[in-house]
């Protein structure tokens, strides 16, 4: 199969596909794993920029540079570019997954802490009453501290 594309057409197709994949993934991340305000609280803006840099900028830009219809080794070159992109995407997605907030723990309604999934020993063995699933967003837990407990070194 021999496609007769210009390098700019190949760049545009690569950019469109990369944007659709990353956009779909980030929509899932923002809506499920890190609903508002967890994305901001967890400081994940830098990871998003790395993903955008690799998947939206680097991959299509390399395609723009190396693409020439009929070039010997073009499939190999594009495969290497795709492998770099896929590796970067998987690394970023894995980081989002392991650091997703598992619980938002509220202490007496005046302090809260976000517990990431990476700090949980075994999410599969948690009490089902807590309502947390491995792929779902954070569960909210309220802890009421009693003053007599705190005064006795609890």
Q: What is the pLDDT of residues 94-117, one digit of tens each?
A: 888 888 888 777 777 677 778 777
* 91 and 106 part of one domain: no
Instruction: Write down which residue in 82, 98, 114 finishes a domain.
Output: 98
End-to-end, the C-alpha distance of the chain in Å comes to 71
The whole model's pTM is what?
0.74
Residues 33 and 88 in one domain: yes
Q: Residue 29 has what DSSP assignment?
A: I
116 and 76 in a single domain? The answer is no
Question: CA-based Rg of the chain, rounded to a whole angstrom?
Answer: 22
Band (147; pLDDT cuts 50, 70, 90): low
114 and 47 within one domain: no
Q: Is the pLDDT of residue 148 over 70?
A: no
Claim to verify: residue 86 and residue 126 sit in the same structural domain: no
Same domain, 52 and 82: yes
pLDDT tens digit sequence for 28-68: 998 988 888 888 877 778 888 888 888 888 899 999 999 98
Q: Which domain holds residue 121?
A: 101-151
- The number of distinct structural domains making up the chain is 2
State the burial class of residue 33 (Cβ atoms within 10 Å of its Cβ: 0-12, 13-18, 19+): buried
Residue 129 has a pLDDT of 53
Instruction: State whether 91 and 18 are in the same domain.
Output: yes
């Amino acid at each position: 199969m021999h496609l007769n594309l210009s390098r700019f057409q190949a760049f545009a197709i690569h950019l469109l596909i990369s944007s659709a994949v990353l956009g779909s993934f980030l929509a899932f991340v923002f809506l499920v794993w890190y609903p508002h305000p967890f994305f901001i609280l967890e400081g994940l803006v830098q990871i998003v920029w790395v993903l955008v840099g690799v998947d939206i900028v680097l991959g299509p830009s390399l395609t723009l540079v190396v693409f020439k219809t009929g070039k010997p080794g073009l499939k190999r070159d594009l495969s290497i570019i795709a492998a770099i992109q896929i590796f970067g995407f998987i690394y970023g997605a894995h980081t989002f997954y392991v650091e997703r907030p598992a619980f938002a723990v509220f202490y007496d309604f005046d302090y809260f802490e976000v517990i990431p999934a990476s700090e949980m020993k075994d999410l599969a063995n948690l009490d089902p009453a807590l309502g947390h699933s491995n792929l779902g967003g954070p569960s909210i837990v309220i802890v009421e501290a009693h003053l007599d407990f705190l005064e006795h070194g609890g």
